[in-house]
Structure 1
Amino acid sequence: MEDIKFSIKKGQRYKRYLSVEMLIPYSREQVWQVITSYDTLSEFIPNLVKSNRISNSESNFLLELVGFCEILNFPFSLRTVLEVVENFPYAIDTQMVEGDLQSYSGQWRLEEVEQKKNQTLLSYSAEIVPKLTMPIALLERQLNRLLPINFSAIRQRLDIIYAGNSQIATPK
């Protein structure tokens, strides 16, 4: 798998801090176009079954996400409605307003890499507190498995959309 840096840190009780980052050989604007295609995210993010922009304000709106996976051969679904605030093309802040977690807030950041033209450092950080009925060890295991897959899916989507526009040759 590509060079994806990922960590989960424990906070008080059930609180977890997530951090994921990956260097992507596309411009910040190209990466922005892919990660803000909210209504089509479920077409290329493997564990996302629904992604629906609920309100239509330009840079501050609600987004419904429904994820699905199997944990120990049992189907598991997680729904959140997020308030999304965009700061084009630098950051996307998200805060849960309702859903299957006790609390969630996250941020996507896009940073140009000065010494490497048309390269973007895409990072995601989040603070998650599951409901007490959700086994934290199983949630951590799924996050460890799925978040790197999701970042790879973003890179693959960029390769499909912008094939030939990357400044770095990508392995086929």
Structure 2
Amino acid sequence: MNGIAVAGLSQNNQSESDIQKLLKGEILLETKPYSAWGGAVTARMYLPLERSQVWQQVTDYSRWVQYFPALSRSEVLHRGDGQSKGAKRLYQVASKAFLMFTAQVEIYLKVFESIHQKTGHQIQFSLERGSFTDFSANLNLQDFKTGTLLTYSVQATPTVLVPSLLIQEAMRLDLPSNLQKMRQVLCGYFR
């Protein structure tokens, strides 16, 4: 199945089989319905890097264009202050060929980062405005074996009416290749 395994397990409850798949470089993926016109997916991957190394790179949001080929722009507009409780504002632009047309989307996100030495680091993305009816994502980093387990969950409903099954299928196909690209860039950076 091209290096992708389907798994419906929480990140704290990995089976031995899934642990071996992760350590071999497979992306564990779970898709689920989300609204009549949206989709939701959770993907997990193992990185043979320390959590602090991964954190340093994934919080450099301008680098996300290297991880996600559909992104043409990823820019921090506001770094956060005491009033916004550390929230950053992020602007991203992407284009995606879908069926017979190409859609360009732009999105403004609030980004909340939290660092917990024992339980892991987390980034929460929430929609401020943009080409989606709703959008949210969470990226979690946890110590795992001799490296880091990255879990990325996203749920979204685009403003363009496309049936949920097609959105889920696009997510199922795109996210694993994006995460494989992310691993390639991250691991290459620390060689």
Shorter-chain TM-score bucket reads 0.7 to 0.9
Aligned pair in 2 of structure 1 residues 96, 111: CA closer, same or farther (>3 Å)? same
Pairwise CA distance, 1:8: 1.3
Q: Which residue does 2:148 correspond to in 1?
A: 120
Corresponding position: 1:100 with 2:131: yes
Aligned residues: 160
Distance in 1, matches of 2:164 and 2:40, equals 13
Task: State the distance in 1 between where 2:161 and 2:183 align.
Answer: 34
1:160 is matched with 188
Residue number in structure 2 paired with 1:75: 102
Cα drift, residue 135 of structure 1: 4.0
For the 8 Å contact 1:48–1:65, the answer to whether it is kept is yes
1:161 to partner: Cα distance: 0.9
Give 1:81 deviation, angstroms.
Answer: 0.8
Distance 1:73 1:29 in 2: 42
Amino-acid identity (%): 25
CA-based RMSD = 1.9
Unaligned runs of 5+ in 1: 164-172
SS in 1 for 2:63: helix
Contact 2:89 2:108 in 1 (8 A): yes
Counterparts of 1:12 and 1:138, CA distance in 2: 12
Check if 1:139 corresponds to 2:129. Answer: no
In 2: Cα distance, 1:36 partner to 1:102 partner: 25
Return the offset for 1:73.
4.5
> Contact 1:35/1:154 (CA < 8 Å) preserved in 2?
no
Cα deviation 1:45-100 (Å, max 9, x = unaligned) = 21111101111226411101112121234222122111000003610011001011
Deviations 1:2-49 (A, max 9, x none): 310112111443343311111111110111122111112213421111
> What is the rounded CA distance, in whole Å, between the counterparts of 1:3 and 1:18 in structure 2?
16
Q: Which of 35, 53, 75 in structure 1 is aligned with 2:58? A: 35
Amino acid at match of 1:91: Q
CA distance in 2, matches of 1:78, 1:147: 17
- What is the one-letter code of the residue matched to 2:40? Y
What is the CA–CA distance in structure 1 between the aligned matches of 2:102 and 2:156, rounded to whole Å?
21
Following TM superposition, where does structure 1 have runs of at least 4 consecutive aligned residues deviating by more than 4 angstroms?
A: none
- Unpaired segments of 5 or more residues in structure 2? 4-24
Whole-Å Cα distance in 1 between the matches of residues 103 and 157 of structure 2? Answer: 17
Point out the more displaced range, 149-158 or 66-75: 66-75
